[in-house]
Structure 1
Amino acid sequence: MSESQATPRSQFTVGTRGSALAVTQSTATAQLLEQASGLGFELIQVKTEGDIVTGPLAQLGGTGVFAAALRVSLLEGKCDLAVHSLKDLPTAQPEGLVIATVPERADVRDALCARDGLTLDDLPTNAKVGTGSPRRAAQLLAARPDLTIVDIRGNVPTRLARVFGEDPSLVDVGVGGELRSDLDAVVLATAGLERLGLERFITERLDPSIVLPAPGQGALAIECRPETALNGDLLSTALHTVENQAARWEVKAERALLGHLEAGCAAPIGALGRFTLGSEHSSVSVAGELVLEAVACSPDGSRMMRRRAQKTVASLADARALGVQLATELLDAGAADIAGLTR
């Protein structure tokens, strides 16, 4: 029996990782769909161990284990939907799955979370700044070559604890034990901090002219099997309802640029699209102007190339073409050598 012929559903299921941010993002997105569809929902926690090597996972090639584990659950029918942070999602789309919806985008900027309320300009010479992102590290060093960049891992509260130690509000969201601050600041995505209710730790939202965000930053992707998105039931209608066309076109251009550069999500590449609806229109379902800016950096921040392109867009194909166009311009100007991209 096809999905469209099955008994009408009363709820939908959303696969999620177990981290606080993943659960928060998945819950908020599921609530949007619940409101739009009138259906209930259930969160299904998916294990994401890096040693999963059997079944469909081995055929997904090039994805991180977090995204891949959720995708396996979708392909095996264990959940109806998965919610991803688009900036962490590889540009290659696996067969049998589609990004059905990109909801309204949150703040795209990176956030400095520093001790004593310090901003980037105020940080002392040789200040220790934590980040696990080569893109952030390179642009921070371009702005402040004196900084000492410290590679860090862990969830959002754990990273904040490297600056703020045993702050009681961090213990409330899952950080405990004997923690001591050893960094002057960390840099994280503003969107993630705000979704977790941790924006009080932000001391500066970094302007994109200083630190250009990752492609897809601030955006979420709702992924599912094609039949879930297209069967015309309450859930598929809700997926269409919560789609934000401007966000979709922006991230399409950004990710097309990243894909054409053959750069992974950890490469020192930043990109940001900004869609502006023509003044004569009242809906984002029609043409508007899409401006795309990109940066390619050397890992140490000593070399940086910025380029910008603009195009009137009326479709995803137009947005993709803009991303490919700007990527081609970057490559022709030597961006692969600057950013250490293998081609």
Structure 2
Amino acid sequence: MTLRVGARLRALHEPDSRIDALVVATCSMERLGLPHLITERISPEVICPPLGAAIIAFQTREDDKSTCQAINFLHDPATATEAEAERLVLRRLGGFCNAPLAGYCRTNRGQGSTTYTVRARSFAVDGGSSADVRRTSSDARKAALAVSHELTRLGDQTVAVKP
């Protein structure tokens, strides 16, 4: 068990603890063999994650073919498509790690077809307003561009986004 999660769990159960609840990533609890302690999973509809969150990427030198080949089995094309759509929204809105943006791209597999839903939320820096936009398309890039366009359009009236 990692020190951070372990210390948090111990603090939760101390007699004089002022902690009522913990929010820990489900994958952390599962990886630590503690899924039985999960009492609730928070939907991204409730707390929208940062764009690009929880995506693991490997970077290699272009000419390092043997490393690329060795880790190729880890590549997930659906995740790559989702990641690129999320990055596109970030680029179009001038996003960076502290930008007031959240969102995700989700792959929807149907009977013989695949669509992509891109959702993005932009928040005023003072927290006073926000915009929440989602678009679905058979092309993740088109959905991301449509979301970016709509958030930019709404930005003048609602939130601080960069055109």
For the aligned pair, the TM-score class normalised by the smaller chain equals 0.7 to 0.9
Of residues 208, 212, 216, the one that matches 2:48 is 212
Of residues 113, 116, 119, the one that matches 1:290 is 116
The structure with higher relative contact order (CA 8 Å, sep 6+) is: 1
Say yes or no: does 1:326 pair with 2:147.
yes
In structure 1, stretches of 5+ residues that fail to align are 1-19, 21-153, 167-179, 282-287, 314-318
Of residues 88, 95, 117, the one that matches 1:256 is 88
In structure 2, the CA distance between the partners of 1:165 and 1:270, relative to structure 1 (3 Å rule), is farther
Larger radius of gyration: 1
In structure 2, the CA distance between the partners of 1:337 and 1:263, relative to structure 1 (3 Å rule), is farther
Say yes or no: does 1:222 pair with 2:58.
yes
Residue equivalent to 1:303: 129
In 2, distance between residues paired with 1:272 and 1:240? Answer: 24
Residue equivalent to 1:53: none
Q: Secondary structure at the match of 2:86?
A: helix
**Residues 292, 309 of structure 1: 8 Å contact kept:** yes
In 1, distance between residues paired with 2:13 and 2:161? Answer: 36
In structure 2, stretches of 5+ residues that fail to align are none
Residue equivalent to 2:12: 163
Give, as a single letter, the amino acid of the residue that structure 1 aligns with 2:55. Answer: A
- Deviations along 1:186-207, whole A, 9 cap, x unmatched? 3333223323334344321112
RMSD across aligned positions (CA):
3.3
**Residues 26, 35 of structure 2: 8 Å contact kept:** yes
* Paired-residue identity, %: 28
CA shift, 1:320, in A, is 4.1
In 1, distance between residues paired with 2:27 and 2:156? Answer: 28
- Aligned residues, how many? 163
**Residues 131, 158 of structure 2: 8 Å contact kept:** no
**Residues 336, 342 of structure 1: 8 Å contact kept:** no
In 2, distance between residues paired with 1:262 and 1:157? Answer: 37
Give, as a single letter, the amino acid of the residue that structure 2 aligns with 1:295. Answer: R
